[in-house]
């Protein structure tokens, strides 16, 4: 009956694993909905002005940074698109926000999920924030604010060449 014991063991392991995820996901989704309905995002967008200034990102797109950090890359991208429709957001800011969000998005969910299986919350969150702030700061120094900057042209170029390739397929 070794096989039976093994299957029971596997099942118990799976159940405790599922429970660990459940007790994070359900409260998290509840809090996220409360965040949305209380319009907390709008309220904190004023608070991050020093941060957007430090990273020399367009103030108007700062809100997409917060949305991305809290809710995830997809929501952040949606917010960026919305901000470009409503305001004049330069390509440089979009690039910097994307680099930040690449490293640091959906931090609440990811951190809690890994915390639930025994990893150190602070280390995960801290390393992502340090990596994102460092990268964005260095890039903001490297890429000049001038629109005709070479790196900016490179970004456009890569994008169009990608589109070209995909239509070829």
Binding stretches for other proteins (CB under 8 A): 10, 13-14, 17-18, 21-22, 25-34, 37-38, 73-74, 77, 80-81, 91, 94-95, 98-99, 102-103, 110-111, 113-114, 117-120, 123-124, 127-128, 131, 135, 154-156, 158-159, 162
Closest CA to 140 of 39, 80, 53: 53
Closest CA to 102 of 124, 135, 78, 80: 135
* CA separation for the pair 52, 14 (Å, rounded): 43
* CA separation for the pair 52, 24 (Å, rounded): 31
Taking the complex as a whole, the smallest distance from the CB of residue 46 to other proteins amounts, in Å, to: 21
User: Which lies closer to other proteins via its Cβ, residue 4 or residue 50?
Assistant: 4
Taking the complex as a whole, the smallest distance from the CB of residue 97 to other proteins amounts, in Å, to: 9
User: Which lies closer to other proteins via its Cβ, residue 47 or residue 130?
Assistant: 130
Return the structure tokens found at 117: 């299986």
Cβ 143 vs Cβ 154: under 8 Å: no
Taking the complex as a whole, the smallest distance from the CB of residue 50 to other proteins amounts, in Å, to: 23
């Amino acid at each position: 009956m070794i096989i039976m014991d093994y299957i029971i063991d596997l099942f118990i392991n799976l159940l405790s694993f599922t429970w660990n995820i459940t007790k994070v996901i359900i409260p998290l989704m509840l809090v996220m909905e409360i965040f949305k309905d209380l319009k907390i995002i709008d309220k904190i967008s004023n608070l991050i002005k020093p941060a957007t200034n430090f990273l020399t990102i367009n103030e108007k797109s700062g809100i997409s940074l917060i949305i991305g950090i809290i809710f995830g890359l997809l929501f952040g991208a949606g917010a960026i698109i919305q901000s470009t429709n409503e305001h004049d957001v330069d390509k440089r800011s979009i690039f910097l926000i994307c680099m930040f969000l690449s490293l640091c998005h959906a931090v609440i969910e990811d951190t809690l999920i890994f915390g639930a299986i025994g990893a150190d919350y602070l280390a995960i969150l801290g390393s992502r924030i340090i990596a994102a702030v460092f990268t964005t700061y260095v890039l903001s120094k490297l890429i000049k604010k001038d629109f005709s900057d070479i790196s900016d042209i490179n970004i456009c170029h890569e994008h169009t060449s990608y589109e070209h390739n995909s239509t070829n397929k």
